[in-house]
Amino acid sequence: MKLSAENAHGHFSLSDDFCCGLFSVSERLRRTLPEGGKDFRPVPGLIRARVPVLPDTPSDFYFNETSVLTYQGGGRRIELSEADCVFIEDPIELFSLHSQMAEEDRLFMDEEEFLHVLPEGVVLRGGRKDLLIHKTARIAGPVSVSTEEGPVVIDARASVKPFSVLEGPLYIGPDSIIESARIRASYIGEACRMGGEVEESIFHPFSNKHHEGFIGHSVIGRWVNLGALTTGSDLKNNYSPVHFPDAQGERKATPLLKLGALIGDHVKTGIGTLLNTGSRISLGSLIAGGGMAPTWLPPFSWHVDGRTRLYEIRSFIHTEKIVMGRRHKEMSEDYEEQMRAVFNASKGFHQKGEGR
- pLDDT over threshold 70, residue 199: yes
pLDDT for position 352? 55
State the average pLDDT over residues 170-195: 98
| Helix H or strand E segment including 301 | strand 301-304
Q: Domain extents for the chain?
A: 8-88, 122-351
Kindly report the number of other CB atoms within 10 A of residue 171's CB atom: 30
In whole angstroms, what is the distance from residue 100 CA to residue 351 CA? 42
Question: Domain 122-351, CATH 3.40.50.720 — does that match?
Answer: no
Q: How confident is the model at residue 144 (pLDDT cuts 50, 70, 90)?
A: very high
Say what the pLDDT of residue 217 is: 98
Q: How confident is the model at residue 1 (pLDDT cuts 50, 70, 90)?
A: low
What band does 50 get if pLDDT is binned at 50, 70 and 90? Answer: very high
Instruction: Give the tens place of pLDDT for each residue, 265-323.
Output: 999 999 999 999 999 999 999 999 988 999 999 999 999 998 999 999 999 999 999 99
Its pTM stands at: 0.95
- Rounded percentage of the chain residues whose pLDDT exceeds 90: 89
Q: Is the pLDDT of residue 340 over 90?
A: yes
Q: What is the pLDDT of residues 319-335, one digit of tens each?
A: 999 999 999 999 999 99
How sure is the predictor about 34, in pLDDT bands with cuts at 50, 70 and 90?
A: very high
Please say if the pLDDT value at position 355 is more than 80: no
| Interatomic CA distance for residues 283 and 266, integer angstroms | 6
Tell me the pLDDT band of 39, cut-offs 50, 70 and 90.
very high
Cα 24 from chain centroid (whole Å): 9
212, 194 contact by CB (below 8 A): no
Res 102: pLDDT = 98
So what's the pLDDT on residue 351? 64
pLDDT classification of 216: cutoffs 50, 70, 90: very high
Mean pLDDT of 5-30: 94
The reply to whether omega before 42 is within 30° of 0 (cis) is no
User: How far out from the chain centre does Cα 128 lie?
Assistant: 27
Q: Angle CA(58)–CA(63)–CA(64) in degrees, nearest 5?
A: 140
CA distance 287 to 310: 12
pLDDT over 70 for what percent of the chain? 98
Which pLDDT does position 353 carry in this prediction? 52
Mean pLDDT computed over every residue of the chain? 94
Continuous segment of H or E residues that includes residue 291: strand 291-292
Chain length of the chain: 356
Give the mean model confidence (pLDDT) for residues 75-91. Answer: 94
Task: Give the mean pLDDT of 121-148.
Answer: 96
